[in-house]
Structure 1
Amino acid sequence: MNWESAWDHARIGVGIAAGYVRRNQKQIISSSTGSDPNRGSNRWVVYANYSRQGRVFDYVLYALKALCDEGFRIIFVSNSTNFGASEVATVQPWCAKIIHRRNVGYDFGAYKDGISSIDDFTAIENLILMNDSVYGPLFPISDTIDRMSMRDVDIWGLTDSWQHDYHLQSYFLCFNRNVLVSSFFREFWRKIPLINYKKSVIRGLEIETSQMFLDNGYKLAAAFPYYALTDRFMGRFPLAIDPKTAPFELELAERLRTHFATGSTVNPTHFFWEMLINDFRFPFIKGELISKNPAAIYGINRWYDKITKLTDYDPDMIMDHLKYSQRPRLFGNPPAKATVKLP
């Protein structure tokens, strides 16, 4: 272990330890009720949102409406520093509860406070935990929810990862009744640390959540499992050798093929983004992939045209968010005048 990795390892440990110190501190600033259009439903969503401007963007409203249309009661949790009455009013039509809290513990802190606001778990059938790190649904979310409701699992996510240890990726998790009525579920969320260092969140919460529930006998699954995606990629690789394919794209494909063949793992929402949309009608695309492309994946500039051609989703909602909130490097080829259309 070199000094950089040793320092990083130490920071992860300190971040987790500090999170345990914070876990019993109250972080909620205010709470209010929404219109609760699905009052009486036994399906819930806790949706975690953060914006440095305090603004609720149209892509978030689109996701809320899509979840509401599926019959879910939504608890909207904002970690934004500024979250005023006008923003509360913006989300009220689709939400049962709106919570404003300090940005302590990031999404898992929001999940924790959202879960604790549910009074009675005895009648709940499903609970989805979702955050605003993804754009969509690009395709009807009901397709995936209905398919996974037929599976004999206690917890499912959209994608899973084998990086470090096996886990479901925490941008979208669904807990089913068998785990929701357990005392273990409530105790787990009551005790989680409020961690403010991203790598500590991944190691100490995202991975640990899956591992803890697995260790306690619960069944986990991904709607779009990692090895099904790598198998699809490896199976179609010979077909990718086309004279019209750019040499650097072929080089990347070969590098990935070698990578997978040796058992190395990658983030599926990044490396398989295009295949997920093309072949699997995957309902979301990661915001970080578009705005930062941390793994320098070739072809991300196609995202705008890909969404326009294959889905009914308005990519201008993504453009609007990127303009205000981030410094994206790869925009694709949007129209000169982008207009935002709400659902």
Structure 2
Amino acid sequence: MTVPPLTDLDFRDPGLARWRHGMAAGRRLGATLAGWGRFARRACDLAVDQAQAFVLDRLDARRPQPDPILRMEEGEDPVPGARSVAVYVQFSRDGALTAMVRRQLATFRQLGFAVVVVSNSPAFPEHSWQEARRTAALVVHRRNRGLDFGAWKDLVPEARARWPAMTELLLVNDSVMGPIRPLEPVLAAMRAGGPGFYGMLESIQGGPHMQSWFLLAQGTKAVGDLAAFLDAMRLSRSKWTIVQRGELRLARAMREAGNRVAAVFSYAGLVEIALRDPAERAYLDRALPGLLEGDDPAALREVLMQRPLNPSQHLWRVLAGPAGCPFIKTELARRNPGRLPEVETWPALVPSDSPVPVAELEAHLAALGP
């Protein structure tokens, strides 16, 4: 597997591009009206969400909150003296750990991480608890306040106290399926970057940032700066607000603290692959009717940079196919929120020698339910 060189994020102000995205799906009238309809629905949903969160967040601030940690226990190997720690957040309706999740945990352990498993699930049954303990150095069940960022905020201080020699901190979750390719080359590329803050996937929607399902702080300074960001972050009942305060601000905050910030798979790099590959270019025409017109590569590139797409969704075929990313976004395969064509064909992108076979990926989706 060939891993692209790390790409440093460019933190230029996105301006109006963040708002223009999603308002119109393309230039044809039907696509434009549909895009505006989706935008209007999202705007209404967001208004309701923010109104509710405004009230609930202020009530939370006024009254004592219960301890978010419901249960915590060391795993069978607590890995004393660990310098590399992964904090892995899991959520399912029944707290079950699918074969895919167990394989992910084992993979991070094999890559040298002391693994902290944090379940935000409503329940975490004993059999799942013991399954986690077989691989993890620490197992935690917590109230699902603040989603993944809430879990990281609560458990990173615990991890730093248990492993004071930590020089490498990996934040991961179960929102992606895989790995469908070995993770060693990707991790090696991040580690070769030296001290800094690295992510699997760059997005420029809402401003340059890295999607938060795979983030690595490398070096004592970066680990400390990441811990400081999480400690200062205010949680919310609103997922949208958590994304704004967490994912969209984190990379910029790490850069402002003096860290190198770079991604393995850059948005611009994925756009280049999509425009060079005739099959992927044709897919974008089907997925985004009317958006890409003409054959001028520079003009097409400009459109995709000015109207940024979600790379884990709209560029999923490029990402999991020719780009060689080890993961596929679970939400895409499960719900296809963007109503993109041919998403059901995702198993065809999984290599025959995938570390996690298609059957386990499909079983994971089935266990999550509709």
**TM-score over 0.5 (shorter chain):** yes
Asked if 2 retains the 8 angstrom alpha-carbon contact of 1:138 and 1:312, the reply is: yes
Task: Identify the residue that residue 196 of structure 2 maps to in structure 1.
Answer: 154
Task: Identify the residue that residue 257 of structure 2 maps to in structure 1.
Answer: 216
Deviates more, 1:106-115 or 1:250-259: 250-259
Deviations, residues 266-287 of structure 1 (Å, cap 9, x unaligned): 1111122222222232111110
What is the deviation of 1:8?
2.3
Asked if 1 retains the 8 angstrom alpha-carbon contact of 2:96 and 2:128, the reply is: yes
Asked if 1 retains the 8 angstrom alpha-carbon contact of 2:70 and 2:141, the reply is: yes
Deviations, residues 31-90 of structure 1 (Å, cap 9, x unaligned): 001022754331100000011112111111010011111111000001111112211101
Alignment counterpart, residue 112 of structure 1, candidates 148, 153, 173: 153
Task: Identify the residue that residue 201 of structure 1 maps to in structure 2.
Answer: 242
Alignment counterpart, residue 96 of structure 1, candidates 131, 137, 141: 137
Task: Identify the residue that residue 268 of structure 1 maps to in structure 2.
Answer: 311
Deviations, residues 200-245 of structure 1 (Å, cap 9, x unaligned): 12112111222222232322111101111111212234x668xxx7
Structure 1-normalised TM-score?
0.83
What is the deviation of 1:19?
5.0
Task: Identify the residue that residue 65 of structure 1 maps to in structure 2.
Answer: 106
Aligned pairs, number: 320
Task: Identify the residue that residue 296 of structure 2 maps to in structure 1.
Answer: none
Task: Identify the residue that residue 230 of structure 2 maps to in structure 1.
Answer: 189
Task: Identify the residue that residue 333 of structure 1 maps to in structure 2.
Answer: none
Deviates more, 1:96-105 or 1:20-29: 20-29
Q: 1:266 to 1:186 in 2, by over 3 A?
A: same
Query: SS at the partner of 1:117?
Result: helix
Report the Cα distance in structure 1 between the residues aligned to 2:197 and 2:55, rounded to whole angstroms.
27
Deviates more, 1:299-308 or 1:99-108: 299-308
Matched, 1:48 2:89: yes
Report the Cα distance in structure 2 between the residues aligned to 1:9 and 1:252, rounded to whole angstroms.
28
Alignment counterpart, residue 138 of structure 1, candidates 174, 180, 184: 180
Counterpart residue identity of residue 139, structure 1? R
Query: SS at the partner of 2:109?
Result: helix
Correspondence 1:221-300 to 2 at 5 A: 221-237=262-278, 250-252=285-287, 255=290, 257-258=292-293, 260-262=301-303, 263-300=306-343
Counterpart residue identity of residue 53, structure 2? G
Structure 2-normalised TM-score?
0.78
Deviates more, 1:258-267 or 1:58-67: 258-267
Q: CA RMSD in A?
A: 2.8
**Runs of at least 5 residues in structure 1 that lack an aligned partner in the other structure:** 328-343
Asked if 2 retains the 8 angstrom alpha-carbon contact of 1:121 and 1:181, the reply is: no
Task: Identify the residue that residue 5 of structure 1 maps to in structure 2.
Answer: 43
What is the deviation of 1:314?
1.1
Counterpart residue identity of residue 71, structure 1? G
What is the deviation of 1:21?
6.7
What is the deviation of 1:193?
2.1
Deviations, residues 160-211 of structure 1 (Å, cap 9, x unaligned): 11111211111111111143453x4433222222223221121121112222
Q: 1:13 to 1:162 in 2, by over 3 A?
A: farther
Alignment counterpart, residue 359 of structure 2, candidates 296, 301, 316: 316
Counterpart residue identity of residue 5, structure 1? A
Asked if 2 retains the 8 angstrom alpha-carbon contact of 1:42 and 1:125, the reply is: yes
Report the Cα distance in structure 1 between the residues aligned to 2:254 and 2:203, rounded to whole angstroms.
16
Q: 1:16 to 1:191 in 2, by over 3 A?
A: farther
Alignment counterpart, residue 168 of structure 1, candidates 210, 213, 225: 210
Deviates more, 1:162-171 or 1:251-260: 251-260
**Runs of at least 5 residues in structure 2 that lack an aligned partner in the other structure:** 1-18, 20-39, 294-299
Alignment counterpart, residue 129 of structure 1, candidates 171, 181, 195: 171
Deviates more, 1:299-308 or 1:123-132: 299-308
What is the deviation of 1:321?
2.2
Task: Identify the residue that residue 4 of structure 2 maps to in structure 1.
Answer: none
Report the Cα distance in structure 1 between the residues aligned to 2:121 and 2:319, rounded to whole angstroms.
31
What is the deviation of 1:153?
5.2
Task: Identify the residue that residue 301 of structure 1 maps to in structure 2.
Answer: 344
Counterpart residue identity of residue 169, structure 1? Q
What is the deviation of 1:255?
4.4
Task: Identify the residue that residue 338 of structure 1 maps to in structure 2.
Answer: none
Deviates more, 1:254-263 or 1:25-34: 254-263
